[in-house]
Amino acid sequence: MSIEKYGLRPGVKLLAVYLILNQKPVDRIIDDLNVPEIIDFQNFIWDLSVQFGIKVKGKNFSRKEITRKMVSSAAYQQRMNCTEDVYFCKGTYCIHAHPECATQKIKEHVETMAEVIRGFIESFEHDPILV
């Protein structure tokens, strides 16, 4: 899994990692991105969180450790009074059809993933091999 595959500028990726490591919100980065970059940013943070999970937990890692902390698409749609099919909210359809709503959902998910990464880092810092 290479983080080089994203079309994001290197500075965006570095800023995201810096903000995560310094306990600062990463969702604000999204405000300066266009739609394809927002999708790439979400994928970048997702892959980063998976990489940290695998590094810290090895074979015991499950992606559910990340997704169970996220608001489900159905719950998000209900909160937003959305009438679209839930399938559209899960894919990339909504980012094009309803960019404001989808961007807000992505911001929430990205911030959740950042918190998960911070938790993995904290676990990793207590690894006796590193101390």
Residue 125 has pLDDT above 80, yes or no: no
Rounded to an integer, what is the distance from CA 5 to the centroid of its chain? 16
Q: Which domain holds residue 41?
A: 7-122
Residue 32: CB atoms within 10 Å: 10
Instruction: Determine phi and psi for 20, rounding to 5 degrees.
Output: -60, -50
Number of domains into which the chain is organized: 1
H helix runs in 22-130, sequence order: 35-57, 64-67, 73-79, 86-90, 93-97, 99-125
Rounded-to-integer distance, Cα 70 and Cα 111, Å: 9
| Whether this model's pTM surpasses 0.95 | no
Stretch 82-91: mean pLDDT, rounded? 83
Query: Band of the pLDDT at 12, cuts 50, 70, 90?
Result: very high
In-domain check, residue 127: no
